[in-house]
Amino acid sequence: MIPCPSSKDSLAKPFLRQENISLKRSQARERGQGFHRDEATHPLRQYQKLDASTASSSPLPTSLRTAGQRRTFWAATGGLRSESISLFKRFVHAGGKYLGKTTDTQRAGLAYFNSCRLTPFKTFVTIPREMVEAMTPHTQKMIGWMSVKPSLLNVTGLHTTETRLLEDVLQLKSNQ
């Protein structure tokens, strides 16, 4: 198993900066997640055609499974080695309550792959900040200096850092 990187670990910083990966550290007795759809945070799924590529979420456990933890054990399913689930369109899903008796902190990494996760082929980060701050917010988005959201409700969007808006992290100003 891979260790859960710490934000203080210099080797982990590039890993933690990727906007499509979120690390979570949760307490062992955290309450379960109720049934829900991801439309509030991924509204692009509302408008996908039936034959659109499937968006998936893959939980990657980074702590060892012990008998006291009572986590999912895949032996009954033919020995799958990783825990994963594919979410198609508005699939209703939930997370179970942790029933283990340990007080250890549980660690997991989530990797999201959606059709709206795009990477620009050109980068304009070398433009001086003063010049960028003289631009309109729309222009700043076009050159990748601001986060872009497919919908107002989408909490992640494109060009984000640590699931926060890039312009907020940079404290970016604009001419409007």
pLDDT tens digits, 96-107: 555 666 565 555
CA distance 58 to 69: 20
Reply yes or no on whether the pLDDT at 161 is more than 80.
no
Reply yes or no on whether the pLDDT at 110 is more than 70.
no
Could you please report the per-residue DSSP string of 98-140?
Answer: P-----SPEEEEEEEE-TT----SS--TTS-HHHHHTS-HHHH
CA distance 162 to 83: 23
| Residue 128, pLDDT score | 87
Q: CB-based contacts of 144: which residues, under 8 Å, 6+ apart? A: 120, 123, 124, 125, 159
Please report how many Cα atoms fall inside a 13 Å half-sphere around the Cα of residue 170, on the Cβ side: 19
Looking at residue 85, the DSSP 8-state letter turns out to be E
Specify the pTM: 0.36
Average confidence (pLDDT) over 117-136: 75
Average confidence (pLDDT) over 25-54: 60
Residue reference for tokens 């940079």: 170
| Residue 137 banded pLDDT, cuts 50, 70, 90 | confident
Reply yes or no on whether the pLDDT at 5 is more than 50.
no
| Residue 92, pLDDT score | 67
Could you please report the per-residue DSSP string of 41-76?
Answer: T-GGGGG--TTSPPEEEEEEE-S---TTT----GGG
- The neighbour count for residue 149, using CB atoms within 10 Å, is 19
